Structure 1
Amino acid sequence: MTEQTASTISSPEYNFRLKDSLLGLQMLFIAFGALVLVPLLTGLDPNVALFTAGVGTLLFQIITKGKVPVFLASSFAFIPAIMFGVQTWGIPATLSGLAAAGLVYVLLGLFIKWQGPGILMRVLPPIVYAPVIMVIGLILAPVAVNMALGKTGDGAIQLINEGLALFIALASLATTIVVTLLGKGVFRLVPIMFGILVGYVLCLLYGLVDFTPVREAPWLALPNFVLPEWNWQAVLFIVPIAIAPAIEHFGDILAVSSLTGKNYVKDPGIHRTMFGDGLATTMAACLGGPPNTTYSEVTGGVALTKAFNPAIMTWAAIAAIVLAFVGKLGALLQTIPVPVMGGILVLLFGAIMVVGLNALVRAKEDLMEPRNLIIISVIVVFGMGGMAFQTGEFVLKGIGLAAIAGIVLNLILPDRKI
Structure 2
Amino acid sequence: MSSKIIQVNERPPLSQAIPLSIQHMFAMFGASVLVPSVFGIDPAIVLLMNGVGTLLFILITKGRAPAYLGSSFAFLAAGGVVIQKYGFEYAQGGFVAVGICGCILALIVYKFGTNWIDYVLPPAAMGPVVALIGLELASNAASNAGLLDETIDMKNVVVFLITLCVAVFGSILFRKFLAVIPILIAIIAGYVAACIAGIVDFQTVANASFFSLPHFQLAKFNMEAIVTMLPVLLVIASEHIGHQIVTSKVVGRDLLKDPGLHRSLFADNFSTALSGLIGSVPTTTYGENIGVMAMTKVYSVWVIGGAAVFSMVCAFIGKLSALISSIPGPVIGGISFLLYGMIGASGLRILVDAKVDYGKARNQALTAVVFVTGLSGISLNFGGVQLTGMVLACVVGMIMGLLFYIFDKLHWTNDREEEEVVEASVASSLEKK
- Give the distance between the partners of 1:192 and 1:282, measured in 2 at CA: 32
Deviation at 1:266, TM superposition (A): 6.7
- Give the distance between the partners of 2:79 and 2:137, measured in 1 at CA: 15
| Among 74, 81, 88, the residue aligned to 2:70 | 74
- Give the distance between the partners of 2:260 and 2:381, measured in 1 at CA: 39
| Among 264, 280, 288, the residue aligned to 2:281 | 288
Unpaired stretches in structure 2, ≥5 consecutive residues: 1-8, 416-433
| Among 392, 397, 422, the residue aligned to 1:406 | 397
- Give the distance between the partners of 1:135 and 1:297, measured in 2 at CA: 13
The equivalent residue for 2:367 is 376
- Give the distance between the partners of 2:219 and 2:351, measured in 1 at CA: 36
Matched, 1:367 2:361: no
Q: Decide whether the 8 Å contact of 1:241 with 1:403 is kept in 2.
A: no
Aligned letter for 1:74?
G
Q: Decide whether the 8 Å contact of 1:186 with 1:301 is kept in 2.
A: no
Deviation at 1:74, TM superposition (A): 2.6
| Among 103, 106, 110, the residue aligned to 2:107 | 110
Matched, 1:182 2:185: no
The equivalent residue for 1:39 is 32
Q: Decide whether the 8 Å contact of 1:102 with 1:278 is kept in 2.
A: yes
Deviation at 1:173, TM superposition (A): 0.5
The equivalent residue for 1:349 is 340
- Give the distance between the partners of 1:312 and 1:350, measured in 2 at CA: 22
CA deviations over 1:14-72 (Å, ceiling 9, x no partner): 9x9xx9876764552242122213225556476445322321133234434x4537453
- Give the distance between the partners of 2:351 and 2:194, measured in 1 at CA: 40
Aligned letter for 1:63?
I
The equivalent residue for 2:56 is 59
The equivalent residue for 1:145 is 142
The aligned runs of 1:162-311 (5 Å cut-off) are: 162-223=153-214, 230=225, 236=231, 239-250=234-245, 252=247, 269-284=260-275, 287-288=280-281, 290-292=283-285, 295-296=289-290
Q: Give the TM-score of the pair, scaled to structure 2.
A: 0.72
Deviation at 1:276, TM superposition (A): 1.8
CA deviations over 1:343-365 (Å, ceiling 9, x no partner): 22222222222222222222211
Deviation at 1:201, TM superposition (A): 0.8
Call closer, same or farther: CA 1:358–1:73 in 2, change over 3 Å: same
- Give the distance between the partners of 1:119 and 1:293, measured in 2 at CA: 24
Q: Decide whether the 8 Å contact of 1:170 with 1:343 is kept in 2.
A: yes
Call closer, same or farther: CA 1:97–1:409 in 2, change over 3 Å: farther
| Among 18, 21, 28, the residue aligned to 1:28 | 21
Deviation at 1:228, TM superposition (A): 7.8
Call closer, same or farther: CA 1:23–1:51 in 2, change over 3 Å: farther
Q: Give the TM-score of the pair, scaled to structure 1.
A: 0.74
CA deviations over 1:204-257 (Å, ceiling 9, x no partner): 112221211111111111246688894766653673353243243256468768
Unpaired stretches in structure 1, ≥5 consecutive residues: 1-13
- Give the distance between the partners of 2:340 and 2:158, measured in 1 at CA: 19
- Give the distance between the partners of 1:169 and 1:315, measured in 2 at CA: 28
- Give the distance between the partners of 1:224 and 1:296, measured in 2 at CA: 29
- Give the distance between the partners of 1:28 and 1:313, measured in 2 at CA: 6
Aligned letter for 2:205?
V
Q: Decide whether the 8 Å contact of 1:21 with 1:312 is kept in 2.
A: no
Aligned letter for 1:271?
H
Partner SS for 2:205: helix
CA deviations over 1:265-284 (Å, ceiling 9, x no partner): 77765532332233224434
Aligned residues: 386
- Give the distance between the partners of 2:336 and 2:83, measured in 1 at CA: 23
- Give the distance between the partners of 1:246 and 1:35, measured in 2 at CA: 19
- Give the distance between the partners of 2:65 and 2:387, measured in 1 at CA: 36
Please say which structure displays the higher CA radius of gyration: 2
Q: Decide whether the 8 Å contact of 1:388 with 1:396 is kept in 2.
A: yes
The equivalent residue for 1:8 is none
| Among 109, 116, 119, the residue aligned to 1:119 | 116
Identity across matched positions, percent: 28
- Give the distance between the partners of 2:327 and 2:173, measured in 1 at CA: 25
The equivalent residue for 1:4 is none
| Among 387, 408, 429, the residue aligned to 1:397 | 387
The equivalent residue for 2:431 is none
Q: Decide whether the 8 Å contact of 2:33 with 2:47 is kept in 1.
A: no
- Give the distance between the partners of 2:215 and 2:50, measured in 1 at CA: 15
- Give the distance between the partners of 1:227 and 1:359, measured in 2 at CA: 43
Call closer, same or farther: CA 1:273–1:349 in 2, change over 3 Å: closer
Q: Decide whether the 8 Å contact of 2:144 with 2:332 is kept in 1.
A: yes
Q: Decide whether the 8 Å contact of 1:131 with 1:356 is kept in 2.
A: yes
Q: Which moved more, 1:87-96 or 1:323-332?
A: 87-96
Q: Which moved more, 1:321-330 or 1:186-195?
A: 186-195
Q: Decide whether the 8 Å contact of 2:380 with 2:388 is kept in 1.
A: no
Call closer, same or farther: CA 1:237–1:225 in 2, change over 3 Å: same
- Give the distance between the partners of 2:393 and 2:177, measured in 1 at CA: 38
Q: Decide whether the 8 Å contact of 1:24 with 1:312 is kept in 2.
A: yes
Deviation at 1:398, TM superposition (A): 1.4
CA deviations over 1:77-102 (Å, ceiling 9, x no partner): x65x5677788887959878876775
Deviation at 1:131, TM superposition (A): 1.8
